């Protein structure tokens, strides 16, 4: 991370980061599958470490998917898009749907009580 900036029109704050030359994990996954297991496990370790760091701050990402993990040739993957991130204590006990709709699991949208027991 290089720092912070503020949009002069909207007054929204933004994080200034190094350019992710490989783009998102979603974009570079076809290339990663060709690497050796050690390389894949190192990438996975750094992704898990980043998510663990967010959780150690008592936060929930709420929009975690392969499009929000940036990949860089010369460094470790980086989790981004913390716009829906919220404190754990704000997480209620009732079932709520989090995330951007295309990335919400279908079972979270469906009424699980209406499903036939065979599908549960």
Whether 4 is covered by a domain: the verdict is: no
| Residue-wise pLDDT tens digits, 65-89 | 888 898 877 678 888 888 788 888 8
Average pLDDT, the chain: 80
Strands in 51-108 per DSSP E: 59-60, 69-70, 78-79, 86-87
Q: What average pLDDT does range 30-59 have in this prediction?
A: 90
Helices (H), the chain: 25-32, 37-56, 106-109
d(CA 112, CA 115): 5
Number of domains in the chain: 1
Determine how β-strand 13-16 pairs with β-strand 59-60.
unpaired
d(CA 72, CA 77): 6
Whether 10 is covered by a domain: the verdict is: no
Residue 9 has a pLDDT of 94
| Residue-wise pLDDT tens digits, 12-35 | 888 888 788 888 888 888 888 888
Whether 115 is covered by a domain: the verdict is: yes
Q: Domain of 45?
A: 23-119
Whether 40 is covered by a domain: the verdict is: yes
Using 50, 70 and 90 to split pLDDT, how confident is the model at 99? low
Residue 103 has a pLDDT of 58
Q: Which residues contact 81 (CB under 8 A, 6 or more apart)?
A: 63, 68
Whether 86 is covered by a domain: the verdict is: yes
Determine how β-strand 69-70 pairs with β-strand 78-79.
antiparallel
CATH number of the domain within which 63 lies: 1.10.510.10
């Amino acid at each position: 991370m290089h720092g912070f900036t503020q949009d002069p029109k909207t007054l929204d704050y933004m994080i200034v980061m190094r350019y992710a030359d490989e783009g998102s994990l979603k974009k570079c996954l076809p290339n990663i599958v060709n690497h050796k297991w050690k390389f894949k496990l190192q990438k996975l370790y750094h992704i898990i470490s980043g998510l663990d760091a967010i959780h150690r701050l008592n936060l929930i990402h709420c929009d975690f998917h392969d499009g929000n993990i940036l990949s860089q040739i010369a460094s470790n993957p980086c989790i981004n898009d913390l716009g829906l991130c919220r404190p754990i204590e704000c997480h209620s006990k009732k079932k709520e749907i989090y995330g951007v709709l295309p990335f919400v699991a279908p079972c979270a949208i469906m009424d699980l009580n209406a499903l036939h027991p065979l599908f549960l």
